Structure 1
Amino acid sequence: MTTSLHPAVERANLLTSLKRYAEARELMAQRLAEDPEDILAWIELARTHLGDEENGAKALAATERALALNPEHVGALLMHARALRVGGRFPETEGVLREVIRLSPDYWFGYARLADWLWRIRVISSGTASGRQVGREEMRAALREAEPIAQEAIRLGPEEVYAYEVAWIIADMSGDDAAAGRMDDAILRLDPQHEHALARRTRKAATAPGVKAAEAATLYADALASTPASAPMRQGLDAASYRLLRGLRWLALLCLALAAAGIDLFQTDGETQRELPLVLGQRLWDLVPMTAVWALGAVLRYRRLRAGIKVNLRSLIRRLAWSRVVLGQAAWAMLCALLITQVPWTERTVPIVLFWAGLVPSLATMWFDRPRNG
């Protein structure tokens, strides 16, 4: 029986890692024809079947051949557990993984894998037995059973990311935000570019109370510099960029309010409205606060944004229809504000119509377009 790693198995392992499963299977078929007692070749063959085909039956057959050669081979048992899960025999994996722990009580991965799967097995078994949706207490009981096993995995493998990932899942499912945060800290200590932990940490910081859109966009842009392929980070940057665009609409509405004030559009008790038409100097002066609003609220803020955020803003306008709607509403409200202040109106009837025409479309959609920021 072969116990060392044959060069052919080593090459197949590399091919499988590159997702070239068919080539790896062909290589293992040749190797097993030469030596049908190469247990590592059987394990690698099962691994290829669990790759592109997700074929639990073929993988199970391969792992059973491996276990027939050595029923206490930990690698074969772990691969057998994977094959059982893919083959629809998930509850049976518990016994296999407990056997791994019995044979290798100091091996962290056996504990981590058991903790990762055990609570799921309990939930599935409970739901199947009762024929109803699993209740909260049953879920908590399953998570409590898995939690100490995950902690043992961390104790045995304090530098292993997967052990902390399992502990994070259990803490998150249990609603223990503090413990989940500690697990994220540990994961990022070991792997600063861990996509999911970084996404969770960034989302938490970006959505904290008081964090402005520009700050949130910067946080997501910084995270994307570490994980450029992260879909959650790109979605977060899009959401923050959309918030920036929605801010432009508020600036336009502020200008609309300034225009209404500049022409004394609505009469208040005890005050006399300005006489119309306004003189040219007054109309030009009404442009000053509007210019200041846009200079400070939009131009200066845009210039301070990072280049990546600016690029994403332009990309978002092309990709998301609601971005164009928001910009259109801001432009329309601004046009109404300019018409109110710059045309020498002799009566306030038309300016009032323009005011409501600029205000109502934005107010009508503000509550509705908030969920469209993804």
Structure 2
Amino acid sequence: MSTLHPAIEQAQALIELERYDQALGLLGRRLAEDPGDVHAWVKIGYCHLNTDRPGQAMEAADEALKLAPEDYGVLRLRAQAMVRDNGWLKVQPILRELIRIAPHDPFAYAMLADAVWRAALVRYAKETGAAQVSAGTIDRLSGEAAELAMEALRLGPEDIYAHEIAHRIASAAGNGTVADQLDEAILRIDPTHAEALARRTKKAAQAPGVGATEAAGLYADALAAEPNSPAMRRELDHATYRLLRGTRWLALLCVGLAGVMIDLFPTEGEVARELPVTVGQRLWCLVVMAAIWAFGAWRRYRRLRSGIQLNVRSLIRRGRWARVVVAQAAWAMMCALLITQIPWTDRLVPGILFWAGLAPTLATVWFDRKKAR
């Protein structure tokens, strides 16, 4: 192995620190001294690639290919630059050459599996004109790609990229068991892998019988392992919203209790309760409502971990529908309190308050039911 020039080593250190402009300046001076330094061209290519300039990265790779057409690093840079520039359908020859030069490289097999898989799907879509492809068809089209992915896993059992490609193919083909096994393998290698962690947590949170509180806890645990996961933050917000939705049902229960207290809907043949309702009955109804909220909301909220409590308050500030839910619960409770705590002598106004508290809230529960799924 040839010794790297000190300038190349310094440039690599700058690249690792993400100081790409300084690295480019250093590499430019190195090429002015020696235009044939292949390593300098490769490092320049990665500087462009890491700053989202794949076209310039390909230009650097092409210059390096003129000097060393069979160099592993040069071919790998060219392949990466091509796919970043939407060249998945053209990259196979480069990857097959990479495998010829480095037959034991899991990266080359994994990227070739991805390229072959994408090409098979595009070719099928063009031939059939299908806008969507079923999982069974994808499974049938994924034969060669799946074999390449398995070879990548064999060569690199600890390679995250190989596992990611194998998971993508298995998941699209409907092989849920294999996909779950690959997620477990990914998390064994990297416990903070954002996508695998999000998939596993979402599956656990959406399992039958898992309530909003437990789901919020699962997402909070996932965020503790990977705090920068936007997917987990969205799912935690969703679970928190489901918790807030429950407060409306508590308020509606109180409205129903208020209607029963003043006997808004007397049974046919029975004499309606005499109004106004006694102070003792009104106070008893108030105690029951307090118990409903204490056991239905306050007790649950107090048992939530502090992070979820903070997210409840944060979501109310950030989310329009979260504020709507809280406002509707408050409105329904206000109607219930007005019905039960004022000594009405006629049922007309309490009846209006009953329907004012009940109907809009029930209508909105039906309207936003998809948000709880």
Q: TM-score, normalised by structure 2?
A: 0.93
Give the Cα–Cα distance (whole angstroms) in 2 for the partners of residues 373 and 30 of structure 1. 59
Partner of 2:203: 204
Alpha-carbon offset, residue 13 of structure 1: 2.5
Residue 156 (structure 1) aligns with = 155
Taking structure 1 as reference, are residues 130 and 85 closer, same or farther at Cα in structure 2, changes over 3 Å only?
A: farther
Corresponding residue of 1:67: 65
Instruction: Provide the residue aligned with 1:54 in structure 2.
Output: 53
Aligned residue among 88, 91, 94 for 1:90: 88
Shift in CA distance, 148/271, structure 1 to aligned 2, threshold 3 Å:
farther
Which of 108, 111, 116 aligns to 2:109? It is: 111
Residues 37-71 of structure 1 deviation map (CA, whole Å, 9 limit, x = unaligned): 32222111111122224242x32232222222222
* Code of the aligned partner of 1:215: E
Deviations 1:132-160 (A, max 9, x none): 74754764444222111111111111111
Q: Structure 1 runs of 4+ off > 6 angstroms?
A: 129-132
The aligned residue for residue 337 of structure 1 is: 336
5+ long unaligned stretches in structure 1 = none
**AA aligned opposite 2:305:** R
**CA 1:134–1:217 in 2, change beyond 3 Å: closer, same or farther?**
closer
- How far, CA to CA, are the matches of 1:88 and 1:370 in structure 2? 39
1:354 aligns with 2:353: yes
1:178 aligned partner, one-letter code? T
Question: Aligned-pair distance for 1:112?
Answer: 1.0
Which string of whole-angstrom CA distances, capped at 9 and with x for unpartnered residues, describes residues 226-262 of structure 1?
1111101111111111111111111100111111112
Mean alpha-carbon deviation: is it higher for 358-367 or for 66-75?
A: 66-75
Q: Which residue of 2 aligns with 1:283?
A: 282
Q: Residues 353 and 207 (structure 1 numbering): CA distance in 2 closer, same or farther, change over 3 Å?
A: same
Shift of 1:125: 4.6
* Cα pair distance change 1:159/1:44, threshold 3 Å: same
Which residue of structure 1 lines up, in the alignment, with residue 272 of structure 2?
A: 273
Quickly say closer, same or farther: Cα 1:125–1:37, change in 2 above 3 A: farther
Quick one: structure 1 residues 158 and 128, their matched pair in 2 at CA, closer, same or farther if it must change by over 3 Å?
Answer: same
In 1, are the aligned partners of 2:160 and 2:186 still within 8 Å (CA)? yes
Deviation at 1:180, TM superposition (A): 1.0
Tell me if structure 1 keeps the 8 A contact 2:88–2:118: no
CA 108–273 in structure 1, closer or farther in 2 if over 3 Å, else same = same
Q: Cα deviations across residues 183-233 of structure 1 (Å, max 9, x unaligned)?
A: 110001111111111111111111222211111111111111111111011
Structure 1 residues 162, 86: CA separation in 2 closer, same or farther (over 3 Å shift)? closer
Please say if residues 39 and 69 of structure 1, whose CA atoms lie closer than 8 Å, have aligned partners that are also in contact. Answer: yes
Match of 2:4 in 1: 5
- Pair 91,3 (structure 1): closer, same or farther in 2 beyond 3 Å: farther
> Equivalences for 1:206-221 in 2 at 5 Å?
206-221=205-220
RMSD across aligned positions (CA) = 2.1
TM-score scaled by length of structure 1: 0.93
Q: Where does 1:166-315 land on structure 2 (aligned, <5 Å)? A: 166-269=165-268, 271-315=270-314
Cα distance in 2 between the residues matched to 1:350 and 1:66: 85
Structure 2 regions of 5+ residues with no counterpart?
Answer: none
Change (3 A) 1:130 1:86: farther
**Cα deviations by residue, 1:275-333 (Å, 9 ceiling, x for unpaired):** 11111111111112111101111111111011011111111111111111111110111
- How many pairs are equivalent? 372
Amino acid at match of 1:77: L
Secondary structure of residue in 2 paired with 1:297: helix
Task: State percent identity of aligned pairs.
Answer: 53
Distance 1:6 1:371, change over 3 A: farther
Structure 1 pair 78–361 and aligned structure 2 pair: CA distance change class (3 A): same
User: Which one-letter code corresponds to 1:366 in the other structure?
Assistant: V
Matched to 2:74, the amino acid is A
Do the aligned partners of 1:123 and 1:134 also contact (CA within 8 Å) in 2? no
Note the alpha carbon deviations across 1:72-119, whole angstroms, 9 max, x for none: 211111111123334454333101111111222111111111112221
Quote the residue 1:145 is aligned against.
144
**Higher mean C-alpha deviation, range 270-279 or range 296-305:** 270-279
